[in-house]
Amino acid sequence: MHITFLFYEGMTALDAIGPYEVLSRLPDTSVHSVSLKPGAIHTSSGLVLHAKNGLSDISQTDILVVPGSGYATSLNQFPEVLEWIQTINETTSWTTSVCTGSLILGAAKLLLGVRATTHWAVMDRLSQWGAIPTEKRVVESGKIITAAGVSAGIDMALMLAEKVAGKDVAETLQLGIEYDPKPPFDAGSIKKARPIIVTALREKLMKKFEKGPLLTNNKPSSQSS
Amino acid sequence: MHITFLFYEGMTALDAIGPYEVLSRLPDTSVHSVSLKPGAIHTSSGLVLHAKNGLSDISQTDILVVPGSGYATSLNQFPEVLEWIQTINETTSWTTSVCTGSLILGAAKLLLGVRATTHWAVMDRLSQWGAIPTEKRVVESGKIITAAGVSAGIDMALMLAEKVAGKDVAETLQLGIEYDPKPPFDAGSIKKARPIIVTALREKLMKKFEKGPLLTNNKPSSQSS
């Protein structure tokens, strides 16, 4: 079983590393990192990851995981990445995303008519790519599985682990990473957080996201081409 | 405010990256990665991180985060790392660990008489370093804060965020990473997982940990020296 993580400049590290930590522990699995070209990847937090493969090195995978980015990514300026996603998707059993990674799947035209989720702050942008916004922590729609913001990738990975290796293995992985979450606050979703927190963060994120060409579909004509 | 993450070969990536994603979003904060020497760090999952600093580059920090490792780490063979932890600890407001990182703090002689936690599978080894094993997700004992296995680092980081920047900021960070966990199974602790799962995983981990000099205190005489 091959599991491949797409890395790119400005990505959110935890979007990828949450699922990476879970899925890499599956038995009989090879995990790969791939980027436009191999080498250093500067994530949004300043953490530097290393992508081992360039796009041309990976032509098949059973599971693809596309992390998101809160920063203005420039993946729209790299159509070869979106083309690679389209091509590799033809080989996958599951094509997955975390956070705004679903907007990248959308830009790769994989979400037409597909129920999907993303980070709460950009939920309305899914429909720009023809997706059906669905407010759940993890949304399964055929072989496309999308997770909500950042930390939701861990929940998605455990769900995937069960599909791949069964419930006993998935529960063992959960116990292995002692995933018995006890957040000190109950502010992890817009339904639970105090309205003043939600409003302030939404405004801050909107200002940031306005700069992100990937997160809006500025060329509607290209969507249907 | 300076926040420093210790990286080392064989570390568990998520132990560090969970807190990194949270704490790097704090306002007015500089986040640093440090290792025996700067460069590539091969984590237990195969993921490669990049440590930007060597030990001599970091002589002061407000928060230190020490991740754990499920593999036999060889930090005991590098006394300069343990000495660096001892020295930097004199400058911190909080010295913290995730998972078996607390055993590293123990090896650095920072846990004598200190309540602390670690990964459930090695809880009994804390007392070998003079610590008082305490079964909580996050244990605060003076300026030493220790988190349970792997994923507990996210909960610890949110607690730290409140201490550093107040509850509004901490809740905003939680909402930002949409940390509203919904594990598909309820198997994240030894109290919740099925006994057959706990027993099998414990046996597997024990075999692995036996090879790890850091995880046992093989030289009791050096503990008190």
pLDDT tens readout for residues B150-182: 999 999 999 999 999 999 999 999 999 999 999
Domain definitions of chain A by residue range: 2-223
Strand partners, B49: A49, B41
Tokens 């949004």 -> residue = A44
Q: Is the dihedral of CA A40, A178, B171, A145 positive or negative?
A: positive
- How far apart CA B215 and CA B109 sit, in angstroms, is 14
Among B99, B116, B139, B150, the one annotated catalytic: B99
**3-state SS string over B31-79?**
EEEEECCCEEEECCCCCEEEECEEHHHCCCCCEEEECCCCCCCCHHHCH
- How far apart CA A23 and CA A216 sit, in angstroms, is 30
Q: Catalytic: A99? A: yes
Among A41, A64, A99, A138, the one annotated catalytic: A99
- Are A20 and B99 a contacting pair at CB < 8 A? no
**The pLDDT of residue A208:** 78
Q: What is the CATH number assigned to the segment(s) A2-223?
A: 3.40.50.880
Asked whether the predicted pLDDT for residue B1 surpasses 70, the reply is yes
H or E, element range at B152: helix B152-165
Residues of B in contact with A99 (CB under 8 A): 178
Asked whether the predicted pLDDT for residue B65 surpasses 60, the reply is yes
Chains A & B: contacts with CB separation below 8 Å: 215
Write out the E strands in A36-78: 39-42, 48-51, 53-54, 63-66
Shortest distance, CA A94 to any CA of chain B (angstroms): 18
Shortest distance, CA B86 to any CA of chain A (angstroms): 25
- Are A179 and B179 a contacting pair at CB < 8 A? no
Question: In a mutagenesis test of the B interface, which of A2, A3, A11, A14 is the best target, namely the one with the most B β-carbons within 10 Å?
Answer: A14
Shortest distance, CA A176 to any CA of chain B (angstroms): 7
Q: Which of A52, A152, A179 sits opposite B188 (nearest CB)?
A: A179
pLDDT tens readout for residues A138-184: 999 999 999 999 999 999 999 999 999 999 999 999 999 999 999 99
Three-state SS at A49: strand
Tokens 């919740």 -> residue = B192
Residues of chain A falling short of pLDDT 50: 72, 218-225
The pTM of this model reads: 0.93
